[in-house]
Amino acid sequence: MKKLVLFLLGLSALGSVADAGHWRRARCCDPCAAQCVPSPCCVNAPACATVATACAPAMVEQTVMEPVMVTETRKIQVTEYKQEQKTREFTVCKLVPRTEMRTRTVAYSENETRTREETYTECKMVSETVQQSYTVMVPYCETRKGTRCVVTPVTRSVEQTYTVMVPYCETRKGTRCVMTPVTREVQQTCTVNVPYTEQRSGMRTIWECVPVVQTRTVCEDQGHWEQRCVPVANGCQPCGVVTHCCRPNRHYACCGADPCGSCGSCAPAPVCNTVVTQNVWVPKIVQREVQCTVYTRQCKQVPFTYTVTLCKPELRTRTVRVCEMVRSMQDYEYQVRLCKPEQRTRTVQVCEMVRSMQDYEYQVQLCKPETRTRPVTVCRMVPEQKTRTVSYTVCVPKTREEQFPVTVCETVPEKKTETYTVCVPVCVEKEIQVQVCKMVPKTVQVPACCPAAPCCQ
């Protein structure tokens, strides 16, 4: 529809341009004395003023194509969705519990108290006071005279003996405690989560395409073509001059009944009014309401059933391997790294000093021994043999038989039926109203072509 409106507006614009060109070219047809071209055969023709009433052209019928807007009904293919119920079967595994009695051997231990006699040695501490003699070095100063020398160093090589500790390894024997792992099987009770299924109901959201009829406003050009008579002032021209010089069909005519008039004077000719019929498009823009179908998405809540797997606690018995450490004494050998002295000889450089004697005095710090006595308390340990009774506990292992219940679940298959909804596309044929532009033939009156005068051909 928008393309049709643009097409009609273009046609009206072209018509206005053509009219403007017609009037622009009509100015070249104004009477002018300079345009009078004498013809050799029209020397004795009467003046143009005597034939001013013969300028009206003859009208003839002509068939033209006129665009007409026509409403047609057309069929289109539309895809719609409809809901369809379907059924399917599925298998559900159900756990059926049953209880049975079983026998097991339980190992336990009992503590038994026993006594024994043992002899031990106890050391008793005895203290006594004893007189102790000790020697003290009492210091005193003494002035002495001496002779010292100034020496000159002299170096020489001397054999020197030194002791080196040489390492060596020695194998020794010892006893150590070794812990040996011993494994045994023990019955243990544990809790196990046993899975089972449960049917639950819920709501879920689904989207559907729903047709909705909406109204739209469209613009139509319901105009029409009109035939209008437009006067054209061409003027009565002398013979041999183009009367309708602006028309594209290039017909030639002379004003007056007698084409051979007197044109030698080139006087201004009277104005001759010519009427031209034109087709003019009269637009008429009309707004109207049109209904159309639009599919919108809508959501809704639908109930459904789903399966949930849950777990329940169950007591079960299992055999567990327990590792215990048993202590035992074991002899072993180990390496000890020792050192033994060894005499070795080496050559060293010895510096000897050559002396020159010199007398001098010096102070000497000396000590002289002095005997003193002091009392000292001495402690000594006196061993004593004693006997005592010791109680100890012995763990005695025992076993017993007992029965316990066990719940066993068996899997039983069960078939169920479920109904679900499916949207199925369906192709539907619908009729719609369409505006179509058609070209219709129409008979109109147009001016006839004016034949040229014999003397102007």
Lowest mean per-residue pLDDT among 64-68, 112-116, 356-360: 356-360
Burial track 103-117 (b if 16+ CB lie within 10 A, e otherwise)? eeeeeeeeeeeeeee
What is the tens place of the pLDDT at every residue in 53-90?
445 667 888 888 888 888 888 888 888 888 888 888 88
Q: What is the mean pLDDT of residues 195-210?
A: 87
State the amino acid at position 225 in one-letter form: W
Closest CA to 241 of 68, 12, 35: 35
The SS3 of residue 88 is strand
The SS3 of residue 403 is strand
Q: Are 115 and 388 in contact (CB under 8 A)?
A: no
The helix (H) or strand (E) run that includes residue 17 is helix 2-26
- pLDDT for residue 449: 59
Task: Please state the φ and ψ torsions of residue 192, each to the nearest 5 degrees.
Answer: -120, 135
**Is pLDDT of 135 > 80?**
yes
What rounded mean pLDDT belongs to the chain? 76
Lowest mean per-residue pLDDT among 30-39, 80-89, 123-132, 305-314: 30-39
**Is pLDDT of 5 > 70?**
no
When mean pLDDT is compared over 244-248, 275-279, 281-285, the highest value belongs to 281-285
Lowest mean per-residue pLDDT among 28-32, 114-118, 449-453: 28-32
- pLDDT for residue 450: 52
Going from N- to C-terminal start, the domains of the chain cover 2-75+222-289+432-456
Dihedral sign computed on CA atoms, order 37, 42, 46, 50: negative
Q: What is the mean pLDDT of residues 451-455?
A: 45
Q: How many CA atoms lie within 13 A of 341 on its CB side?
A: 4
What is the tens place of the pLDDT at every residue in 215-238?
888 888 888 888 888 776 554 444
Dihedral sign computed on CA atoms, order 72, 76, 81, 84: positive
Dihedral sign computed on CA atoms, order 76, 81, 84, 89: positive
The SS3 of residue 45 is strand
